[in-house]
Each structure stands twice: as structure tokens, then as C-alpha cells.
């Protein structure tokens, strides 16, 4: 009897376990089936809800992990995406896209060192990926050249919904938003269950002001603006190839859907542009007509690709009231076109597309208008386009192209880049605008005023897509110049310039015309070295010290081609450096006299110069940080003069000794003014260094490995 009872109990427990397990598996399978259906239909928010339940039951479900990570990535939920991609990074074998997306998520979280390591891991898996190569060797610390120059502020165009892609329109601004305008929203965007976007405008720029970012979304009690949203599983009629059209709002809808409208001068664009689906970024022709982005919805009919996706297309809105809508002739049901930009005369269009034949993701193309016809689009080329996404372009009157990219090295997400175009050809590699324009999140849709001193851009750095303004906060000191062959005066395209300060060395490249441009930091001394293969490097000194207004410093560099004697010096750099080694000499505090311990070094230098008449020297004299900048410059000049006079007294012609003086700008240690340092460390800064020049080649500055 007892045995039977025990048997029955064990049987009951086992049966219950089997039933519960079967029920859990059945529940998981149903959830997974629904999640997969939502995911494939691009209903990412719905997919996430079911995937979280699946993973609560089966935490090791790799397919669910992959889908939830990608869904959070697509809906711009960066912290959540990072969490799930970190879990995927521990799975074996690793998929290439997991590694890439994990690297991107780490950059979004400003974990740049870890991000670079994972980009290197991705590069080892896909060695041909130039994007990965650029990110793996990027220096995020160099992406803040304008941090002091620009002032960035949130505008009063924003609501708790999304606002993005501003464009100058008449005397005001045109932009996109999925805000509610007091009406019930019957359709939502199934990608993330937010309302569809429309084009809005504000008539006067003077009505746009700055606001405290904390105020956005803080007052949600305005019942006049209350709206009700319908989460009715609307069919996925609104998206493209998962690249264009990702205008995600970071808010999740509540029962009231209340939004703020802090600027009452904003109006829905009239005419036939806005529909019940997405209207995206636009560009304005000189006559006020538009070319704009919209879902594949024309004359009341929405069309899909063969895979069931509704792509983006470009449309032209003409007529007095923008009531005539026509398609751009190079649209397709099978790929997206969007994000237009126009030249000032309206005759050249730049747009983004994932049409076949590109470099990957979305590329920038251009088309030329001739009368009422547009030429077949031409890819802007691999100098601009990458394996990532290039989109959200704009053109300034001076020919500067601004665009956002995930393929060029940046701070994370979409970063804004600039490049000058001439005859639709880039004149240099695209430049990252750096902070504060760019952030670790998505920064895009930048436009600039004609004078270049202000503008607007979009960013989701605080969650939602919002429109910010930027303006010149202070004066700019620009270094501009030309690198040429000293004899022929021919421009040396692609020359490299090293700009060295006490703290860092920045590298820039001259464009195809040998031109270079660089924004200098204030109150900073620079050592500028121009280099070109087959030429002798030239080093000059420039400074921004004492400049307090917008200024341009002109610095043209003329390089001599390496002749046979000069090439001999370069080829034998290591051995010649040993022969022509010269010691530094040092000075007492606040003195310029040659000390007794310096005389043997100067005597040896004089003897070396007598044996080698082809040799000249540059004396570079320095001070410690004590006393003022002006006083120290004068003191270092006197020290250089003392060294030269000593050599002349030993029979060396004064024409063979050049004096350079730097005051306290080139300390060899961190003994800055006000920093407590030992006298031994201070002594190291009170010195004269000697550059040895052989046959016109600065042997001291020559990098023997750079041949």
C-alpha cells in the first residue's frame, strides 16, 4: 500500500512536469512564431514584446537573441541593443554581422576602446571592409576640433514626438515631424508603433528660439492636444529596405498620447504633399517647388517590392499650392530613393539610394536636370560612399556637401561629414564635423546658412529625434595653404601635413589641387611639417597666440624634389645620424650666457661643421615655463644668439647658423606654469637644440623609417 502510494505520487509529479514542460514549449513556440512573423513584417516593437517572453522561457535561444538585438538596433534603443549583442558576442560560432553591430553598439555607448577592438575582430573576418578598417584605426579623441567654436542648442520646434531634417524654405524652415495636431491618429507606423511623419513649416526663422532641454515633454497636461492612438496591427506599408526611413521616435505611446506644442507658429504644409503615410526629407527649388521623400504611395495606391516591402520614392511637388505631384523618373518598386539635396540653381540633385551597383547600404547619387528631364543617376564614388549608409545630404551655396554616414569613422551612429565638391567630384576625403555637432548617437540632416556661421541639424542624442541649432560661439582661426614643387610650382596633390603641438600631432592631407585647410586652437603654437614621397620635408612654425578675431593664416609650403645628393642623405639616414649627432646645451635660470659645461659640445659642433662644409644648423632655443610668454620668447631669442655667436667665434660663417626661438611653448615635460616641478626637471626645458641640415635635408627631423 505504501509502495503504491509512493508510486502514484512519483507518477503524478513526473506527469505534471511533462505536461508543464510541454505547455511551456508550446507557449514558447507560439510566441516565437508570432515574434518571427512580426520581425519579418518589420513590426519591431511587437516582435520585441514576444521575444522577451520567449527568452524568459529559453534564455539560450540564439534565433530569439539575434532578432531581439536587431529589433532594438532598428528602433534605436541603443542600451538594450548593446545588452543583447553582448550576449550574442559570447555565442559560438560568431556571425560577422553580430560582431559589426556589437562594435557599433559599443560606440553608441561611448565605449570606444572596446568598440575599436571589436571592429578589428570584424576586420579580421572581412578584411576587404574599408569601413571596419577606418573605425579600427580611428582616433575619437581627434573628433572634437570644433568643440569650442560651435554653440549648440535645442530649438522650440520640438515636441515629445520626433522632429528632424530641417531645410530652409522661403523665409522660414521646412521639417519633418510625427507630432499629433489635435486629431485622432488612426494609423501608426508598425516599425515602432508611432504616428507617420508629415512635412511642417514655420514661416519665419525669427520665430525659432532656444529652449531648456529639460522642458521638452515636462508638461503633458494640455488636454487640448490630447490624441488617441490606434495600435491596430496596421499592415507594414511604410518602410523600405531597413536603411532609409528609420525615423524612430524614442517614446512609447501611452493611453492619452499627449504631446507638447511649444511653438504655435508651426503649420502643416498645405497642398498634396502630405498623405496618411510617411513624408520624409525634402529639398526646395528656387521657384519654391519641392522634391521630397515619401513611401511608395502615389495617386491613392501603395505599392510593394517583390519581397513585400514598401520602399521610399522621390516625388516633385509643383504648382502654386504644391498640388501637382509627379514621380522622379528613377524611382523603383524594388529599391529606395530619398533624402534629396539641390544645388543653388536647382539643376543638380543629390539623393540617397540602395539601388543595385552601390558600395553597400545606401549611397549618394547625383542627377542633372536638363529642361524637364533628369539624367540617369551617377554614384558619387568610393571617396564618399562606403559599405555603410550615406544619407541625409544637403548642399551649401559654396559647393560644400554635408551628409551623414555610418561608414566613415565617427563617434557612433550617424555622424555628419562635410566635403567640398567641384564638378561633382570630392576635393578631399570627407571630414567628420566632430563634437558638439556629432555625438555617440545619430546626428543627421544638417543645413548651413550662406555665411557659414549658423545652421540647424537633427539628433536623437537625448532620445527622440530633435532639431538643434548651431551658431558660431567664438572667433575662428583658420590655417590655409598650398603645397607645391619649389621649382615647377606644380601643386603636390595628396601631400601630408603634420601639425604638432605640445599635446598632440594631427595629420591632414592636401586635396587634388595641393590645398589644405585646418582650424587652429586658440593660444597655441604649431610646428607644421609638409611631406611628400620623393620630396624633402619642410618644417615651419606658426601660432595662434594673441589672435582674438576671425583670422586666416596663410602658409604656403614649397618642397624640393630629392636630388642625388639629397637622396643619398635620405637613404643613409641611420648612419649619418650617428656621424652628425649633436648634443643639446643648457642655461642657468633667466640667463643666456654660454655655460662652461656647454662649451665642449659647441666646440665639437664647430669642428664637425669645419670638416663638412655642406652642413648647416638651426638653433632652436627654449625656456622653462616661469615668467610671461613675451619675456620667454625674447630670452630664447637671446639664447639662440649666444649659441650662434660662439660658433662664429670658432670660425663658422654666420650664414650657416639659423636661429629659431620658441619661448616656453615646447616643454619637454609637464612643468607648466604653476605646476610644482623639481629644479632638475625645470633645467631640461632651458636648452638649445640643434637641427643638422645636410645637402638641404634636415637630418635631425628626418624619420629614417619613412622612406
Q: Tens digit of pLDDT for each residue in 599-608?
A: 999 999 999 9
Per-residue pLDDT tens over the stretch 168-208: 999 999 999 988 765 544 455 556 556 788 999 999 999 99
**What pLDDT is recorded for position 287?**
94
User: Using omega within 30 degrees of 0 as the cis cutoff, is the peptide bond preceding 514 cis?
Assistant: no
Full-model pTM: 0.67
Confidence grade of residue 332 (pLDDT, cut at 50, 70, 90): very high
**Lowest pLDDT segment from 13-27, 87-101, 311-325:** 13-27
**What pLDDT is recorded for position 545?**
82
Confidence grade of residue 212 (pLDDT, cut at 50, 70, 90): low
372, 373, 307: which is closest to 336 by C-alpha? 307
Per-residue pLDDT tens over the stretch 523-552: 888 889 999 988 888 888 888 888 888 899
Burial code (b: 16+ CB inside 10 Å, e: under 16) for 102-118 equals bbbbbbbbebbeebbeb
Element of type H or E holding 191: none
Per-residue pLDDT tens over the stretch 467-496: 999 998 778 889 999 999 988 999 999 899
399, 257, 298: which is closest to 341 by C-alpha? 399
Name the percent of the chain in helix, strand, coil, to the closest 5. Answer: 25, 30, 45
195, 299, 190: which is closest to 237 by C-alpha? 190
Find which of 10-14, 214-218, 275-279 is predicted with most confidence, using mean pLDDT.
Answer: 275-279
Beta strands in 532-676 (DSSP E): 538-543, 551-554, 557-559, 585-586, 615-621, 657-661
pLDDT at position 231 over 80: no
**What pLDDT is recorded for position 255?**
27
What is the residue-wise DSSP string for 174-186?
Answer: EEEE----SS-B-
- If one compares 146 and 612, the residue with the highest pLDDT of the two is 612
Per-residue pLDDT tens over the stretch 109-132: 888 888 888 888 888 898 888 777
What is the residue-averaged pLDDT of the chain?
A: 84
**What percentage of the chain reaches a pLDDT higher than 90?**
47
**What pLDDT is recorded for position 586?**
97
Q: Are 491 and 483 in contact (CB under 8 A)?
A: yes
Amino acid at each position: 500500500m505504501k509502495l503504491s502510494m509512493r508510486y502514484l505520487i512519483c507518477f503524478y509529479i513526473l506527469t505534471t512536469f511533462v505536461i508543464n514542460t510541454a505547455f511551456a514549449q508550446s507557449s514558447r513556440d507560439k510566441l516565437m512564431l508570432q515574434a518571427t512573423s512580426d520581425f519579418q513584417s518589420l513590426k519591431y516593437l511587437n516582435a520585441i514584446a514576444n521575444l522577451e517572453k520567449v527568452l524568459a522561457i529559453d534564455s539560450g535561444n540564439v534565433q530569439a537573441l539575434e532578432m531581439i538585438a536587431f529589433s532594438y538596433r532598428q528602433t534605436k534603443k541603443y542600451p538594450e541593443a548593446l545588452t543583447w549583442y553582448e550576449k550574442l558576442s559570447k555565442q559560438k560560432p560568431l556571425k560577422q554581422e553580430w560582431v559589426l553591430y556589437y562594435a557599433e553598439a559599443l560606440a553608441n555607448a561611448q565605449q570606444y576602446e572596446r568598440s575599436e577592438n571589436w571592429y578589428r575582430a570584424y576586420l579580421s573576418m572581412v578584411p576587404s571592409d574599408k569601413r571596419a578598417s577606418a573605425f579600427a584605426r580611428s582616433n575619437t579623441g581627434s573628433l572634437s576640433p570644433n568643440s569650442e567654436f560651435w554653440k549648440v542648442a535645442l530649438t522650440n520646434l520640438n515636441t515629445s514626438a520626433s522632429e528632424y531634417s530641417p531645410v530652409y524654405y522661403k523665409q522660414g524652415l521646412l521639417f519633418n515631424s510625427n507630432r499629433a495636431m489635435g486629431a485622432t491618429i488612426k494609423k501608426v507606423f508598425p516599425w515602432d508603433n508611432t504616428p507617420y511623419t508629415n512635412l511642417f513649416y514655420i514661416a519665419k526663422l525669427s520665430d525659432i528660439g532656444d529652449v531648456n532641454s529639460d522642458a521638452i515633454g515636462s508638461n503633458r497636461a494640455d488636454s487640448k492636444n490630447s490624441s488617441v492612438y490606434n495600435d491596430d496591427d496596421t499592415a507594414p506599408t511604410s518602410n523600405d529596405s531597413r536603411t532609409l526611413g528609420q525615423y524612430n521616435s524614442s517614446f512609447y505611446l501611452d493611453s492619452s498620447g499627449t504631446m507638447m506644442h511649444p511653438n504655435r507658429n508651426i503649420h502643416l504644409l498645405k497642398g498634396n504633399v502630405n498623405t496618411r503615410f510617411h513624408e520624409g526629407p525634402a529639398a526646395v527649388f528656387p521657384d519654391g517647388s519641392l522634391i521630397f521623400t515619401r513611401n511608395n504611395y502615389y495617386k491613392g495606391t501603395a505599392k510593394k517590392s517583390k519581397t513585400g516591402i514598401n520602399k521610399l520614392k522621390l516625388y516633385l511637388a509643383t504648382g502654386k499650392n504644391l498640388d501637382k505631384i509627379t514621380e522622379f523618373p528613377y524611382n523603383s518598386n524594388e529599391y529606395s530613393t530619398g533624402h534629396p539635396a539641390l544645388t543653388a540653381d536647382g539643376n543638380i540633385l543629390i539623393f540617397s539610394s540602395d539601388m543595385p551597383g552601390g558600395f553597400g547600404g545606401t549611397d549618394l547619387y547625383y542627377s542633372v536636370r536638363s529642361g524637364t528631364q533628369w539624367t540617369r543617376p551617377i554614384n558619387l564614388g568610393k571617396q564618399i560612399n562606403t559599405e555603410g549608409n550615406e544619407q541625409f545630404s544637403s548642399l551649401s551655396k559654396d559647393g560644400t556637401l554635408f551628409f551623414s554616414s555610418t561608414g566613415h569613422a565617427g563617434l557612433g551612429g550617424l555622424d555628419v561629414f562635410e566635403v567640398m565638391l567641384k564638378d561633382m567630384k570630392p576635393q578631399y576625403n570627407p571630414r567628420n564635423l566632430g563634437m558638439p555637432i556629432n555625438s555617440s548617437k545619430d546626428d543627421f540632416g544638417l543645413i548651413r546658412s550662406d555665411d557659414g556661421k549658423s545652421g540647424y541639424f537633427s539628433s536623437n542624442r537625448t532620445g527622440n529625434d530633435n532639431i538643434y541649432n548651431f551658431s558660431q560661439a567664438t572667433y575662428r582661426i583658420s590655417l590655409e595653404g598650398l603645397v607645391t614643387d619649389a621649382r615647377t610650382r606644380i601643386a603636390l596633390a595628396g601631400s601630408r601635413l603634420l601639425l604638432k603641438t605640445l599635446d598632440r600631432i594631427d595629420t591632414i592631407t592636401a586635396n587634388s589641387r595641393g590645398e589644405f585647410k585646418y582650424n587652429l586652437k586658440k593660444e597655441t603654437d604649431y610646428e607644421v611639417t609638409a611631406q611628400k614621397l620623393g620630396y624633402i620635408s619642410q618644417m615651419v612654425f606658426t601660432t595662434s597666440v594673441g589672435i582674438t578675431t576671425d583670422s586666416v593664416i596663410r602658409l604656403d609650403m614649397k618642397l624640393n624634389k630629392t636630388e642625388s645628393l639629397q637622396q643619398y642623405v635620405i637613404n643613409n639616414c641611420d648612419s649619418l645620424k650617428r656621424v652628425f649627432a649633436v648634443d643639446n646645451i643648457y642655461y642657468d635660470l633667466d640667463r643666456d650666457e654660454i655655460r662652461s659645461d656647454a662649451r665642449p659640445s659647441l666646440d665639437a659642433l664647430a669642428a664637425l661643421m669645419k670638416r663638412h662644409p655642406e652642413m648647416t644648423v638651426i638653433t632652436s632655443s627654449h625656456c622653462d615655463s616661469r615668467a610671461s610668454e613675451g619675456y620667454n620668447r625674447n630670452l630664447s631669442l637671446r639664447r639662440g644668439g649666444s649659441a650662434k655667436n660662439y660658433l662664429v667665434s670658432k670660425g663658422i660663417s654666420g650664414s650657416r647658423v639659423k636661429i629659431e626661438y620658441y619661448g616656453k611653448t615646447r616643454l619637454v615635460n609637464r612643468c607648466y606654469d604653476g605646476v610644482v616641478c623639481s629644479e632638475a626637471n625645470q633645467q631640461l626645458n632651458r636648452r638649445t637644440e640643434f637641427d643638422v641640415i645636410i645637402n638641404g635635408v634636415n637630418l635631425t627631423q628626418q624619420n629614417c623609417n619613412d622612406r
